[in-house]
Amino acid sequence: MADTAVAREAMVDRQIEARGIRDPRVLAAMRQVPRERFIPPDVAPLAYADQPLPIGYGQTISQPYIVAYMSEALRVTENATVLEIGTGSGYQAAVLGELAREVYTIEIVPELAEHCRLIA
């Protein structure tokens, strides 16, 4: 567990903050949400790599920088309600959940939706 926290911190420092993400709330959210919870076990060793990863059903979890970039671009306030279309792994929704009051997310692939319900 400690190893993943160190890897997550390094990811934020080297991949996200180093590329210009400055919103302290987004940086804190990226440090808080464990990306390894949102990917299949066989790719878990790559959880903090600077790349998208397969999550099954022809889908991927977005590269961490892209999640941070989209989160910062939204300028989500603490009182915001967010609607996400395409839950995928649930990682973006979890990051947004650290920023907003409420997050609603919709997924068309039943197996991905079920996985997200189980980890929520």
What residues are annotated to the active site?
62
Q: Which of 8, 24, 11 is nearest to 65 (CA)?
A: 11
What's the count of helices (H) and strands (E) in the chain, helices before strands? Answer: 5, 4
Angle between helices 2-11 and 24-32 (to 10 degrees): 150
Is the Cβ–Cβ distance between 33 and 94 less than 8 Å? yes
Distance CA 34, CA 2 (A): 11
| Helix, strand or coil, per DSSP, at residue 56 | strand
